[in-house]
Amino acid sequence: MRVVGVAARHRQVFDRRLEHGVDPRVLAYEAGWVVLRPVEADLDADGELRLVLKVRHRREGDGHPRTRKPGRDRGLRSAPDEQPVVRQRFAAYAVVKSERGLLATEYSDLTAVNGRWGMPGGGLDEGEEPVHAVEREVDEETGQVVEIGELVLVQSSHWVGRSPHGGIEDFHAVRLIYRATCPEPTDPVVHDQGGTTASARWVPLDAWADTPWTANWRQALKRLLR
């Protein structure tokens, strides 16, 4: 992924590759800029993913972006000669609202957060535009047809854990989070059986905080639903 910073009047001020484990906010800060908001994410002419961020000059007193140290799945054990596979994954998700509430998906036992809830979405296929990935993933995980809105948040997480396929990974996840609406909501159906989604449902917006979200999703929803 390339991270592109644009300042006032859409002036491009940096264009850098996102290295493994680096938060885009940290990349911008170390280039002398502070991220204000995401603008868009798309594929460039060469088919490489590009994340555009609105930024301003870093000023005296601007603190370093707060990030967590790389985590490790609880109880993870490995053989003496087992080395983690380094993997950077770009994914797109949607905070989907409708007259029935907020669309949520439950993580399956193939994940380290079995029984917790999040937003529908998942990894980008090779050569896939992020907005198309969101539409596909929402359909696969919930059976809903949605209209994708603006890119509103970018999350970066880094940890070592066991993948759904059994191997140990040094995993860097970059999540592109969009707003979306569902004009004709139906009862959610998980089409992608046997994957990382166990179930899906509509959560009433006035009771969203009662759902056992993952820590990352609870943090994101506090910001996006206020």
Total structural domains within the chain: 2
pLDDT digit string, tens, across residues 58-93 = 999 999 998 878 787 777 777 788 888 899 999 999
Q: Which domain holds residue 111?
A: 85-224
- For residues 44 and 141, membership in a common domain is answered with no
pLDDT at position 167 is 82
- For residues 111 and 200, membership in a common domain is answered with yes
Is residue 165 predicted with pLDDT exceeding 90?
Answer: no
Domain boundary among 21, 40, 57: 57
- For residues 114 and 219, membership in a common domain is answered with yes
pLDDT digit string, tens, across residues 166-194 = 788 999 999 999 999 999 999 999 999 99
pLDDT at position 187 is 99
**Position 14, amino acid:** F
DSSP letter for each residue of 10-66: G-EEEEEE--TT--HHHHHHHTTEEEEEEEEEEE-TTS-EEEEEEEEE--TT-PPPP
> Residues 6 or more apart from 111 whose CB is under 8 A from it?
164, 196
Angle 222-90-94 from CA coordinates, rounded to 5°: 40
- For residues 25 and 95, membership in a common domain is answered with no
Question: Residue 166 belongs to a domain with what CATH number?
Answer: 3.90.79.10
End-to-end CA gap in the chain:
30
- For residues 34 and 120, membership in a common domain is answered with no
pLDDT at position 91 is 98
